[in-house]
Amino acid sequence: MHLRPVGADALLLEVDSPLDWFAALDAERSAGRLAVVDIVPGARTVLLDGVPDPAALAARLRDLAIDPAAVPHSPPLVLDVVFDGVDLPFVADHAGSSVAEVVAALTGTELTVAFCGFAPGFAYLRGLPWSVPRRPTPRTRVPAGSVALAAEFAGIYPTPSPGGWHIVGHSDAELFSVDRTPPALLTPGRTVRFRAA
């Protein structure tokens, strides 16, 4: 673990397993043993924001042991997906598989929300059996609900936006709503399974 101060009241942890650290730190906060405003996991980091005493917390974190086996796991959230994406043939060719085999792999794999970003409700889902390069030229508009792949991640676009990921299907899941707590359907650490609709 490597710790870096960020501004006057935040710490950035560079760690090997950000989700395990996120879960453990969130449990510490829920139990009242960690005073921070926000805990934000990234691909290789965890940001602790709103830290009253960053130096004291840094010293405490160096002694904190993280046990991945102790991280609670909820049942996967099943999302219906229509696999009709324009880039399915490219993904199949890149994976050395047929379109049917790609769909079987996507529906047979449990994915995990590694972190969120890009847009409210957009989750980076890790666990794909292969990696897919980003498109050489991003699309200027990707429809809301598009299920897409890039690098080692899958994601679902919550709103229409530009995007450089390969579209493999679409889902009607409401990924973000200000009337829900939490507003995002997919939060870090959540497991997800796609079901062919």
* Residue 123's pLDDT band (cuts 50, 70, 90): very high
Q: Is 19 helix (H, G, I), strand (E, B) or coil?
A: helix
% of the chain at pLDDT higher than 90: 74
Do 62 and 92 have their domain in common? no
Mean pLDDT of 119-136: 95
Count up the domains in the chain and report the number.
2
Do 91 and 29 have their domain in common? no
Do 148 and 88 have their domain in common? yes
Please report the pLDDT score of residue 17 as a whole number. Answer: 87
Residues 6+ positions from 67 with CB-CB distance below 8 Å = 24
The answer on pLDDT for 75 being more than 90 is no
Q: Domain boundary residue among 25, 43, 70?
A: 70
What angle, 0 to 180 degrees and rounded to 10, lies between the N-to-C axes of helices 88-95 and 99-107? Answer: 90
CATH of the domain at 132: 2.40.100.10
Do 125 and 33 have their domain in common? no
Give the range of the structural domain holding residue 15, as residue numbers without chain letter: 2-70
First to last CA, the chain: 42
Mean pLDDT of 151-163: 97
Judging by beta carbons within 10 Å of its beta carbon (0-12, 13-18, 19+), is residue 39 exposed, middle or buried? buried
